[in-house]
Amino acid sequence: MPPFPGRTSHKTPAWVDNAATYHIRISLQRSSPLPLTDVRVAPALLGSARFYHAELRWNCRLFLLMPDHLHALLAFPHDKTPGAVIRKWKAYHTRTLGLSWQGNFFDHRIRNLDELDEKAAYIRLNPVRKLLCRSEEDWPWWITCAD
């Protein structure tokens, strides 16, 4: 059996629909100086997610910050790979906020509307499951940009 690759390319195959939405998870290095939910960090991250949406760099359905990682439901322009867009976004926040990201990210293509609803519910309940708040409505560090 060939060895398991250390990194994936995150290159979208040509047969994937242009409007495909992905569940993205991006994690901080343990050595990162501040959590993503710090009041000096979270508004900047959520603001840049809105900016990327407004500038059509991605289509953001949901973006939620946890202390050491984030979850997002994003779609990307067909002429841009998810890896390239996320790399630029992470690099900006490394420079401006001093965040130290893990080198890669997790992605999973959403295959239908039921799965989209299921992933959105999973993401919104993440702070509750981790006992960071009592209900999903109590969690301040999330946004939606798209219908």
Beta carbons of 78 and 16 less than 8 angstroms apart:
no
Beta carbons of 121 and 73 less than 8 angstroms apart:
no
Crossing angle for the helix pair 42-54 and 82-97, nearest 10 degrees? 140
Q: Which two tokens stand for residue 6?
A: 């250390």
Q: What is the mean pLDDT of residues 62-81?
A: 94
Residue type, 41: V
Distance of CA 24 to CAs 40, 62, 110, 116, 125, Å? Answer: 23, 10, 10, 12, 16
CATH topology of domain 21-143: Alpha-Beta Plaits (3.30.70)
Instruction: Determine what percent of the chain is predicted with pLDDT higher than 90.
Output: 76
Query: 14-30: per-residue pLDDT in tens?
Result: 444 556 899 999 999 99
CA dist 80 and 84 (Å) reads 7
Checking if the pLDDT of 104 tops 50, the result is yes
What pTM did the predictor assign?
A: 0.86
Checking if the pLDDT of 108 tops 70, the result is yes
| pLDDT for residue 80 | 87
Checking if the pLDDT of 147 tops 70, the result is no
Q: What is the mean pLDDT of residues 31-42?
A: 93
| pLDDT for residue 7 | 44
| pLDDT for residue 6 | 47
If we measure between CA atoms, which residue out of 9, 65, 1 comes closest to residue 38?
Answer: 65
Kindly compute the dihedral angle of the four CA atoms of residues 128, 59, 29, 47, in this order, to the nearest 10 degrees.
-80
